[in-house]
């Protein structure tokens, strides 16, 4: 049991180091507090910014389909593909729910968690979001994974300006004026390729972690009932 617990701890430590590796690579290539390239406000990096909504729960025919419905609690990592709920085609036809394409940047703008952590991700497939999220479609001069990380690197600034009236939320006026470096597309592509390789490493570690956690539960049940 100690060995399994140690394996779990090691896996979590590796995942943290891999995240740190990507952040370090970003700073190396693009800078951060002192950008290596000219910077522009985030609002000028976006072709479109949209919000979401929740179809009425009074209509069961809206739920249980094949369309991922993403809420703030579903955005935990840098990629998002599914949530706890799914929608049907009927929901898309009869409500304001909008299907967002793959590679949309998803930002949590309202959540109690914003008191201590900021969450942002790129969608791996078409999804629908609720009202606690914003969706960003980058302009052609930005690769989604680069722009997502450029925003994520401003986490300290973003959390420092979170408003707490009623519920913790990000003021869009502050958010849209974050300064984003504008490097050449070739460098953005290099960074995106680096992130992709790191994600593959993270996936391998997560698979080991999942097996170790399953084994630990089985051992706990065996030894302690």
Average pLDDT of the residues in 82-101: 95
The pTM of this model reads: 0.91
Pairwise CA distance, residues 53 & 95, whole Å: 9
Pairwise CA distance, residues 152 & 160, whole Å: 13
Average pLDDT of the residues in 182-206: 96
Q: Which two tokens stand for residue 154?
A: 């401003």
Helix then strand then coil, in percent of the chain rounded to 5, is 50, 20, 30
Closest CA to 136 of 223, 149, 6: 149
The contacts of residue 144 (CB under 8 Å, 6+ apart) are 103, 104, 105, 122, 138
- C-beta of residue 68 within 8 angstroms of C-beta of residue 91: no
The contacts of residue 23 (CB under 8 Å, 6+ apart) are 153
Pairwise CA distance, residues 117 & 126, whole Å: 25
Q: Which two tokens stand for residue 99?
A: 């299907």
The string of pLDDT tens digits covering residues 138-163 is 999 999 999 999 999 999 999 999 98
The string of pLDDT tens digits covering residues 34-78 is 889 999 999 999 999 999 999 999 999 999 999 999 999 999 999
Which helix (H) or strand (E) segment holds residue 28: the answer is helix 2-30
- C-beta of residue 130 within 8 angstroms of C-beta of residue 52: yes
pLDDT band, residue 32 (cuts 50/70/90): confident
Closest CA to 109 of 76, 131, 132: 132
Q: What pLDDT is recorded for position 102?
A: 96
CA 62 → CA 123, 133, 155, distances in Å? 22, 20, 35
In this structure, the number of other CB atoms found within 10 A of the CB of residue 155 comes to: 14
Helix, strand or coil, per DSSP, at residue 177? coil
């Amino acid at each position: 049991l100690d060995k399994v617990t140690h394996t779990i701890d090691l896996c979590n430590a590796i995942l943290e180091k891999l995240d740190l590796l990507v952040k370090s690579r970003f700073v190396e290539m693009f800078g951060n507090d002192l950008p290596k390239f000219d910077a522009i406000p985030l609002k000028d990096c976006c072709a479109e910014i949209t919000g979401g909504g929740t179809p009425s729960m009074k209509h069961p025919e809206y739920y249980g389909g094949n369309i991922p419905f993403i809420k703030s609690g579903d955005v935990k990592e840098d990629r998002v593909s599914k949530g706890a709920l799914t929608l049907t085609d009927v929901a898309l036809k009869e409500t304001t729910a909008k299907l967002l394409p793959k590679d949309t940047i998803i930002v949590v703008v309202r959540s109690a968690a914003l008191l201590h952590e900021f969450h942002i991700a790129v969608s791996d497939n078409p999804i629908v979001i609720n009202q606690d999220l914003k969706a960003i479609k980058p302009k052609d001069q930005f690769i989604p994974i680069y722009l997502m990380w450029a925003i994520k690197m401003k986490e300290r600034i973003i959390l420092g300006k979170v408003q707490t009236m009623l519920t913790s939320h990000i003021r869009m006026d502050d958010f849209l004026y974050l300064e984003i470096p504008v490097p050449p597309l070739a460098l953005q592509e290099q960074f995106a390729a680096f992130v992709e390789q790191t994600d593959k490493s993270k996936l391998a570690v997560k698979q080991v972690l999942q097996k170790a956690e399953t084994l630990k539960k089985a051992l706990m049940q065996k030894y302690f009932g």
